[in-house]
Amino acid sequence: MGAPTLAVSGLRAAFRIAGREIAAVQDIGLTIAPGETVALVGESGSGKSVTSLSIMGLLPRRVGRIVEGSIRLRRKDGTETELTTLDAEGLRRIRGNDIGMVFQEPMTSLNPVFTVGEQIAEPIRIHLGKSRREAALDASRLLVQVGIHDPERRALQYPHELSGGMRQRVTIAMALACDPTLLIADEPTTALDVTIQAQILELLEKLQVERGMSILFVTHNLGVVAEIADRVAVMYAGRIVESGPVAEVFPHPRHPYTVGLMRSAPRLGEATALKAAGTPLPTIAGNVPSLAMLPKGCAFAPRCSMAIDTCRTAVPPLHQVSPSQESRCLRWEEL
């Protein structure tokens, strides 16, 4: 498959809170091949967004930093760049140009005082050096590509004049304006209804095929993962606990947390049947631990029915359970 578009290894990012430095993600290893979609999955607070913000160089200054690790990106010109060594200006040249990002809520990522056409055209002018007229024409073409009709009129509108689905399409057009090699989509369908969700996923797949770009898709929705991803990495309490091809992990999960997530996903008709039987919906007992007070050993052990004493003494390593699947569980063979 050639050299990866993105290669993350040993990534540790931390935040300084009340005089303490607390690790938000630890020992993150992730690769994305050209044209591949990798999904990052987990409950809220598991470290998914911090991982994506670390890659983008968007951790909040003064309180957040990358402590150690490597983030290597293959850029549009074929060169490989270590992102952790770049200064603010170096990262600015890459963001929007070689890496595009679609955020969860378009109303917070779009500027309310500029038209959507101006906002799509801005990275084209900055990174590609085109004139205002050329950038405006490119913005109209991008609006058509993301499924927005009458682009000349829409380009002159402000974000509040568009529907939620159209705003999300605009943010996708912005992210793709400079034809990046990597697109990071941070829960881009969470705020949308099911019909628009399906349209956005179909759009991303179509654009990926046309452009050959890699996608890191951050989500907590396993249905979305099954729909769009080639491989999946499951995160818990700041670490990847299982990873592998979706076609292997979903039918044969090798970590109790992945099993719990899949059992918790409601199935058609299941809720009605369980309610009629007086049985509660399946859930994972307990709560995600605070990153400031992680338990010793496996962070999932307090919630795990399979935990043994050894699980509580040291953080389990990633076990190679197959040529393409890994699990951070001592008892993966019993699953």
Transcribe 198-214 into DSSP letters: HHHHHHHHHHHHHH--E
Map residue 85 onto helix, strand or coil. helix
pLDDT for res 115: 97
pLDDT over 80 (residue 313): yes
5 confidence band (pLDDT: 50, 70, 90): very high
Mean pLDDT computed over 265-274:
74
pLDDT for res 131: 96
User: What is the distance, to the nearest Å, from the Cα of residue 302 to the centroid of all Cα atoms in its chain?
Assistant: 27
189 confidence band (pLDDT: 50, 70, 90): confident
269 confidence band (pLDDT: 50, 70, 90): confident
The DSSP bridge partners found for residue 6 are 32, 73
pLDDT for res 231: 98
Q: Give the chain's largest Cα–Cα span.
A: 67
80 confidence band (pLDDT: 50, 70, 90): very high
pLDDT for res 184: 96
Tell me the C-alpha to C-alpha distance, in Å, between residue 42 and each of 78, 89, 234, 237, 253. 32, 32, 6, 9, 14
Mean pLDDT computed over 158-168:
92
Mean pLDDT computed over 117-123:
96
**Per-residue model confidence as pLDDT tens digits over 213-239:** 999 999 988 989 999 999 999 999 999
Q: Which range is least confidently modeled, 75-89, 130-144, 189-203, 310-324? A: 189-203
| CA–CA distance, 207 with 297 (Å, rounded to integer) | 42
User: Is-contact 139 89, C-beta < 8 A?
Assistant: no
| CA–CA distance, 64 with 49 (Å, rounded to integer) | 13
Domains in the chain (CATH in brackets) are 6-229 (3.40.50.300), 241-334 (no CATH)
Token pair of 126 as six digits: 């900055």
pLDDT over 70 (residue 1): no
pLDDT for res 252: 96
Mean pLDDT computed over 278-290:
85
Share of the chain above pLDDT 70, in %: 99
User: What is the distance, to the nearest Å, from the Cα of residue 211 to the centroid of all Cα atoms in its chain?
Assistant: 19
335 confidence band (pLDDT: 50, 70, 90): confident
pLDDT for res 199: 87
* Stated pTM of the model: 0.92
**Degrees (nearest 5) of the Cα angle 304, 310, 316?**
75
CB within 8 A of 119, min separation 6: which ones?
A: 110, 111, 170, 174
pLDDT for res 193: 81
